[in-house]
């Protein structure tokens, strides 16, 4: 029973973290950028939401504000990369480091508890009194994830969204067509970190506190979820399926972590487990490709023809020798 309860909690957390994974997918897969800003912007979203909740703001309004503040963090990284010509990896690290101090400034301390404060989950619990916090977190997470997936699918089908996708696919070609690729990068980074901050705000409301360290390792979790989703569910039905697969990958990642912890793994070993999951997930496509090549190794037509010609000549030579004898 303990494992079943752990899995239920893992699913609800996986959906909430799945919104963060969608943000990481935007930069990692669509823009082809390794953005480490998310480790800081995730905590920023939680910090903004927690401070406003304690001040008595509407929980849903705090989510919207967290999203826009997260966009600002992405804008900073994009500006340093495109305008100051700092490598995007270094620019994101600089923003991430700076956000640690910014987040403490926002909260005034390292941790803000939300006990007794009205959140999105507690609001829903009043409407559905039989539901637990885990169930309400799952419901809210599914609703927000569905909305984000629908908006992303629509947006990347528009002209602007297509320009962002094309920038990640072939930047030089898009620039030759007259598109400002710097603007596309800045916009993509802003949207990505906005989603990450939104996820951080939801997670903070669900777990009942915001902490300055809550975003540590977010980029690794996001990459693990993306890779797991792609390996298991693939990309067979278009972008809408890929976006859903990314969220499902986040859920599976959380379930694996929860089950392993229930089986006796120490919580201090979670980073090691995460690294192993990412490494294994990255290596699965390579092993699949090697197995596929071993199973299907057709002999080239030219080689078969050449071997047939050699066999014919050998037969003629043997016939001549027999005739001479």
Mean pLDDT score, 2-24: 87
pLDDT digits (tens, 9 = 90+) for 259-295: 888 877 777 777 788 788 778 877 877 777 787 777 6
Q: 308 exposed, middle or buried (CB, 10 Å; 0-12, 13-18, 19+)?
A: exposed
Query: Given this model, what pLDDT does residue 82 score?
Result: 93
Q: Residue 52: pLDDT above 70?
A: yes
Query: Cα separations (Å) of 239 from 173, 219, 228, 231, 233?
Result: 22, 21, 16, 15, 12
Task: Please tell me the total number of residues recorded for the chain in this structure.
Answer: 325
Task: Tell me what pLDDT residue 297 has.
Answer: 57
Contacts of 252 (CB under 8 A, 6+ apart): 14, 225, 228, 229, 232
Token reading at 215: 């975003």
**96: Cα separation from own chain's centroid:** 17
pLDDT in tens, 181-224: 999 999 999 999 999 999 999 999 999 999 999 988 898 889 88
Element spanning 86, H or E: none
Report the CATH fold assignment for 2-265. ABC transporter involved in vitamin B12 uptake, BtuC (1.10.3470)
pLDDT for residue 206: 92
Tokens representing residue 104 in the block: 């403490």
Average pLDDT, the chain: 86
Kindly tell me the sign of the dihedral angle through the C-alpha atoms of 283, 289, 292, 296: negative
Model confidence, pTM: 0.86
Does position 17 have pLDDT exceeding 50, yes or no?
yes
* 249 vs 223: CA distance, rounded Å: 10
The pair of structure tokens assigned to 56 is 């008595």
Q: Higher-confidence residue: 319 or 19?
A: 19
Return the DSSP state at 110.
S
Q: DSSP letter at 108?
A: S
Residue 111 bridge partners (DSSP): 211
Output the pLDDT for position 325: 47
Res. 301: pLDDT tops 80: no
* Average pLDDT of the segment spanning 143-170: 93
Residues 69-111: pLDDT tens digits? 999 999 999 999 999 999 999 999 999 999 999 999 999 998 9
pLDDT, tens digit (0-9, with 9 covering 90-100), for 121-147:
999 988 888 888 888 999 999 999 999
Work out the number of other CB atoms within 10 angstroms of the CB of residue 95: 28
Least confident among 55-64, 218-227, 290-299: 290-299
């Amino acid at each position: 029973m303990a494992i079943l309860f752990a899995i239920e909690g893992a699913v609800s957390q996986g959906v909430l973290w799945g919104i963060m994974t969608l943000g990481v997918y935007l930069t990692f897969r669509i823009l082809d950028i390794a953005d480490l800003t998310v480790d800081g912007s995730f905590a920023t979203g939680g910090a903004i939401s927690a401070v406003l909740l304690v001040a008595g703001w509407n929980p849903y309004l705090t989510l919207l504000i967290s999203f826009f503040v997260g966009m600002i963090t992405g804008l900073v990284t994009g500006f340093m990369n495109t305008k100051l010509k700092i490598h995007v990896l270094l620019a994101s690290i600089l923003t991430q480091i700076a956000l640690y101090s910014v987040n403490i400034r926002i909260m005034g301390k390292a941790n803000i508890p939300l006990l007794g404060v009205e959140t999105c989950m507690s609001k829903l619990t009043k409407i559905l009194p039989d539901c637990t916090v885990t169930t309400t977190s799952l419901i809210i997470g599914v609703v927000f994830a569905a909305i984000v997936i629908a908006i992303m699918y629509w947006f990347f089908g528009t002209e602007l969204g297509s320009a962002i996708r094309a920038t990640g696919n072939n930047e030089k070609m898009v620039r030759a067509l007259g598109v400002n690729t710097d603007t596309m990068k800045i916009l993509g980074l802003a949207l990505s970190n906005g989603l990450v901050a939104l996820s951080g705000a939801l997670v903070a409301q669900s777990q009942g506190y915001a902490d300055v360290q809550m975003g540590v390792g977010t980029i690794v979790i996001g990459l693990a979820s993306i890779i797991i989703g792609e390996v298991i569910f693939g990309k067979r039905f278009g972008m809408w399926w890929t976006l859903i697969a990314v969220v499902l990958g986040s859920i599976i990642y959380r379930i694996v972590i929860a089950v392993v912890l229930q089986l006796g793994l120490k919580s201090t070993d979670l980073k090691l487990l995460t690294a192993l999951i990412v490494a294994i997930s990255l290596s699965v496509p390579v092993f699949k490709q090697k197995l596929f090549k071993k199973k299907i190794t057709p002999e080239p037509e030219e080689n078969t023809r050449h071997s047939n010609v050699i066999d014919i000549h050998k037969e003629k030579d043997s016939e001549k020798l027999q005739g001479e004898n």
